[in-house]
């Protein structure tokens, strides 16, 4: 007789997987690699260069959040469309700029083409991927590990835990950069004057 899991059991199983994966990631965070990524960005800024964030598929959505987060915490960052880059958008990236490239597998064909183009044009790459031996990991100037064993859900395919991992790793980078720059509430509110956050600082 087949046992049918209740909605509560399904959710408990998923949340347990998610919790386990987050804990493993946090325990394995590589501070030296994050510091190297921080230093690469700071060096680029000292040379009046810019920071871009790119990804394909779900990591492409992560890139939008990360670019916004970095920009609001003192590191001006720009979204680079991962597929449009090889059709002219790579022109927004100048030699010496830093590109944060996000891919769970590190083998996505479109992103490989984009990263190859960017490196040929003189950009520095911060590779964020869950596969240590992947193409992207090997072609980054700095490699940030954001890997999980299980995504969660019956299929264990749709990006869930891996997306959380990418966000946590890049949030960690944003914290290091924000701290290094000594961001004050007064500076923060200049870039985030609206909403409850802006109001909480201005009051």
Per-residue pLDDT of 43-89, as tens digits, reads 999 999 999 999 999 999 999 999 999 999 999 999 999 999 999 99
What residue spans define the domains of the chain? 8-149+156-182
Which secondary structure element, helix H or strand E, spans residue 79, and what is its range?
Answer: strand 77-79
53-78: string of b/e by CB count within 10 Å (b at 16+)?
bbbbbbbbebbeebbebbbbbbbebb
| Higher per-residue pLDDT: 197 or 5 | 5
Q: With contact defined as beta carbons under 8 Å apart, do 70 and 174 qualify?
A: yes
**Per-residue pLDDT at 181 exceeds 70:** yes
**pLDDT attached to residue 158:** 95
| DSSP secondary structure code for residue 132 in this structure | T
What's the chain's Rg over C-alpha atoms?
18
Phi-psi region of 56 (alpha: psi -120 to 50; beta: other; left: phi over 0): beta
Q: What is the DSSP letter of 37?
A: H
| Least confident among 65-74, 97-106, 154-163, 192-201 | 192-201
144: which strand partners?
128
The rounded distance, in Å, linking the Cα atoms of 22 and 162 is: 9
What is the fold, at CATH topology level, of the domain defined by 8-149+156-182? Rossmann fold (3.40.50)
d(CA 190, CA 195): 13
Question: Worst-scoring range by mean pLDDT, 18-22, 114-118, 184-188?
Answer: 184-188
Mean pLDDT of 155-166: 96
């Amino acid at each position: 007789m087949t046992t049918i899991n209740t909605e509560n059991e399904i959710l408990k199983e998923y949340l347990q997987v998610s919790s386990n994966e987050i804990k493993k990631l946090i325990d394995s965070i590589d501070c030296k690699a994050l510091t190297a990524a921080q230093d690469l960005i700071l060096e680029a800024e000292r040379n009046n260069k810019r920071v871009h964030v790119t990804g394909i598929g779900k990591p492409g959505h992560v890139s939008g959040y990360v670019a916004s987060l970095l920009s609001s915490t003192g590191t001006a960052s720009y979204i680079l469309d991962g597929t449009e880059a090889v059709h002219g958008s790579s022109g927004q990236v100048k030699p010496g700029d830093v590109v944060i490239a996000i891919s769970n597998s590190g083998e996505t064909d479109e992103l490989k083409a984009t990263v190859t183009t960017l490196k040929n044009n003189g950009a520095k790459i911060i590779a964020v991927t869950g596969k240590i031996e992947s193409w992207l990991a090997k072609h980054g100037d700095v490699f940030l590990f954001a890997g999980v064993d299980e995504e969660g859900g019956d299929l264990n395919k749709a990006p869930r835990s891996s997306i959380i991992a990418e966000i946590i790793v890049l949030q960690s980078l944003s914290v290091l950069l924000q701290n290094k720059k000594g961001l004050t509430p007064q500076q923060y509110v200049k870039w985030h004057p609206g909403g409850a956050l802006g109001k909480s600082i201005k009051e």
